[in-house]
Amino acid sequence: MNTVRLRAIDAKTERAYVNLNLMSVTFLAENERLGKKVLFGCGARKDFENFSPVVKARLNLNDHHDAPEKYPSSAENVVGPEFENNFMPGYPTDQKPFSSTPTLHQSYRDIREIFFDKLFKIGNFRAHDYFGDGSFYLLNTPSHAIGHMCGLDRTTPMTFVFLGDNICHFEGSFRPSPTIPLPGPIPASHLDSYFPIPCPCSISSVAHPAGPKSEESKTSPFFEVTLFAQSTYLDRVEAAKSIKKLQRFDENTNVFVCIDHDSTLLKKQEKAQWGWLNELPRDGKPGPLMLVTGVWKNGGLVRNFTELTASIY
């Protein structure tokens, strides 16, 4: 059975929210038999001034943009369905707001748009066998953005890693579940020094919308997709469906789920399942200190993205 070697890379983008600390993780999947690699989830470019104007104005769009003009000439940009129709030819050729966002300097590289066969599915997601040997699959998950895809890496003949990208932004969106309930006590290895040992699950479930005394707080996710229009999801209804499908993978003991903003991935793998509980509010107050306040470049706070001067176009 063909497999890939998978490595996680710290993309160095730390994002602070009112209640959440998020970072970006990029994944490198290598099919050693074929001598081919896939960089999945590119992270943000460090030279913020070279984002297109729309990306500068909308910070939430920049965390997977990267700097494609720096890739070797042999590399190709792989995108999901309808990407080319909606975002090409890209900035600065196309000055329309949303068509210009993610394709900065697309002329430097070939664009390959993936076609998904309606009959081939994995876990109810339409799937594409990228290398053609069963080692790495792309999954069609368009709810977050047009062309959004997840990855499924076969790391041994019977085990997989689900690369969630932005299918959701926090593990509490799909955990706990009826199959993987919130444990009591919570394993000490998953928690920081704030929590008592042993730690009853009620300390965390007090933040659950169902309340700490409800059995639902142990068997249903802490978060749902927002109904507000100001959302990171293009299609909020479809996003909720995709997260439900994701739960099926998470409940499979042969699948390790990684989402790109999981702050525990680069620490200890055993913390990945419940380590996100450390980010929840504590005693009615926000959880840990923010990873970063504002946007910084070269040691200084960036106060206005639109005032940055581009250097590559």
3-state secondary structure 29-69: EEECCCCEEEEECCCCCCCHHHCCHHHHHCHHHCCCCCCHH
Neighbour order of strands in the sheet with 125-129 = 121-122, 125-129, 136-140, 149-156, 159-163, 255-258
Res 215 pLDDT > 60: yes
Which residues, at least 6 apart from 73, have a Cβ–Cβ distance to it below 8 Å? none
- Domains of the chain and CATH, by start: 5-175+221-307 (3.60.15.10), 176-220 (no CATH)
Q: Which long-range contacts (CB under 8 A, 24 or more apart) does 62-67 make?
A: 62/13, 63/11, 63/13, 63/15, 63/24, 63/260, 63/261, 64/24, 64/165, 64/166, 64/260, 65/102, 65/104, 66/42
Start-to-end CA span in the chain (Å): 46
**Residue type for 215, please?**
E
Residue 211 has a pLDDT of: 86
Task: Read off the pLDDT of residues 163-211 as tens digits, 9 standing for 90 and up.
Answer: 988 898 888 999 999 999 999 899 988 888 888 999 998 888 888 989 8
Instruction: Tell me the mean pLDDT in the region 40-55.
Output: 71
Q: What is the pLDDT of residues 109-160, one digit of tens each?
A: 678 899 999 999 999 999 999 999 999 999 999 877 888 899 999 999 999 9
Residue-level pLDDT at 11: 63
Provide the pLDDT for residue 233.
75
As a whole number, mean pLDDT of residues 17-22 equals: 51
pLDDT of residue 259: 87
pLDDT tens by residue, 49-107? 777 665 555 444 455 666 777 777 778 888 888 887 877 777 667 665 444 444 445 44
pLDDT of residue 290: 72
CA 11 to chain centre: 12
Instruction: Output the CA–CA distances (angstroms, integers) from residue 148 to 104, 141, 144, in the order listed.
Output: 17, 6, 6
Looking at residue 148, its amino acid is H
Instruction: Count other C-beta atoms under 10 Å from residue 43's C-beta.
Output: 22
Q: Which residues are paired to 30 by β-bridges?
A: 5, 37
pTM of the model: 0.86
What is the per-residue pLDDT across 225-234, written as a single tens digit (0 to 9) for each?
887 776 777 7
Q: How confident is the model at residue 219 (pLDDT cuts 50, 70, 90)?
A: very high
